[in-house]
Chains A and B, each alone.
Chain A
Amino acid sequence: MKTKLKELRARHGINQTELAKRAKISRQTVSLIEREEFMPSLLIAMKIARVFDEPIEEIFRFEEEELE
């Protein structure tokens, strides 16, 4: 899974801590997702998507092979 989370954060000018507070998750989780070391649950993905007002699939992208 690839994510545009870091890019989106930079575009909105918010740091990891701020995103974590707004999405009500931990900064550690934000950091893990950005480093692509952890695939978020649907709930966390939804919370993050709401902060940026973007659809989930715009933030998290799967390779075609991963979906087969």
Chain B
Amino acid sequence: MKKILTTSGKLLIGALIGFFGMLALLEAEITFDFGNYAYPASIVILAAAAVLIVFSLYCYSSIRKTAKQDLSGDAEDAAEGKMYRQYSDANLSITLALLFGLAAVCLALLTEQPVWTAVTGVVLTFISFVVSFLLPGLMHKMYPERNLPSISDKDYANKLLESSDDGEKHVMLDGLYKTYLSLNSLLIGAIILLLLYSMVTGASQLFGIFVVVAILAVTNAQYMFSIRNK
């Protein structure tokens, strides 16, 4: 009972803050012109993408070097652990670089930035795309004794999942479930943010809101059907 009251109290406070916050935002005439910030933002995003690509390539080369070493005992375990972490870091970096590259291209095209920013964005996105296809090949160097699928195999992702053992699947499940939960909350937050932005600036973000709603509907249906039909 006490817990219900505490939760109700928090909800009430949240609703009041939201209501008065919204009133204040609607009263204030806020205009936000992306054009003023687009050029420096493009430079920062492009630089971040370039740094992430370089970092990913550094990890790639470091893993190849470590995989060639002939080690034994605890040093072998430490090297294996290091390669595993670097492989994860490289994958995260290249995914972020790909997203930043795309964001830079969108920014350049939508805010009429100099052509070189759009071209650099396309080049960085392309490089990220190529590197993201090179990285899975490292797994054959890291685990030569394992029967892992090749990136060119049809249905690569499913074959890779099948070749993972229970411990690896346990780690993946933990990470994916947390991601699924946070993705739902973040996208609902994004809808609220887009709604507030539309109301405050008068620039309708309705298309974006519908796209986010569609993504939420599809991903949730996909998850629910996959567990329901088991």
Q: Chain A: residues with CB nearer than 8 A to chain B? A: 15-18, 21, 25-33, 38, 40-41, 43-44
Contact = CB atoms under 8 A, between A and B. Distances in A.
Nearest to B145: A21
A48 B170 CA distance: 18
B170 A27 contact: no
Contacts of A21: 145
Interface string B52-96: 000000000000000000001110110011001000000000000
B73 A44 contact: no
Question: Interface of chain A, helix or strand or loop or mixed?
Answer: helix
Contacts of A17: 76-77, 80
A29 B167 contact: yes
B225 to A, nearest CB: 26
A49 B207 CA distance: 58
B166 A27 contact: no
Contacts of B77: 15-17, 27
Contacts of A29: 165-168
17 contacts: A15-B72, A15-B73, A16-B80, A17-B76, A21-B145, A26-B146, A26-B164, A26-B165, A26-B167, A27-B77, A27-B81, A27-B84, A28-B168, A28-B171, A29-B165, A38-B166, A40-B167
Contacts of A28: 84, 167-168, 171
A38 B165 contact: no
Shortest 6 CB-CB contacts between residues of A and residues of B? A29-B167, A16-B77, A25-B165, A41-B166, A32-B167, A17-B76
B75 to A, nearest CB: 9
Contact of A44 (B81, B145, B167): B167
B168 A44 contact: no
B82 to A, nearest CB: 12
Q: Which of A15, A16, A25, A44 has the most CB of B within 10 A?
A: A15
Nearest to A47: B165
Nearest to A37: B170
Nearest to B76: A17
Contacts of B76: 15, 17-18
B72 A26 contact: no
Interface in B155-214: 164-168, 170-171
A32 B77 CA distance: 13
A32 B170 CA distance: 10
Contact of A33 (B80, B143, B167): B167
A55 B76 CA distance: 28
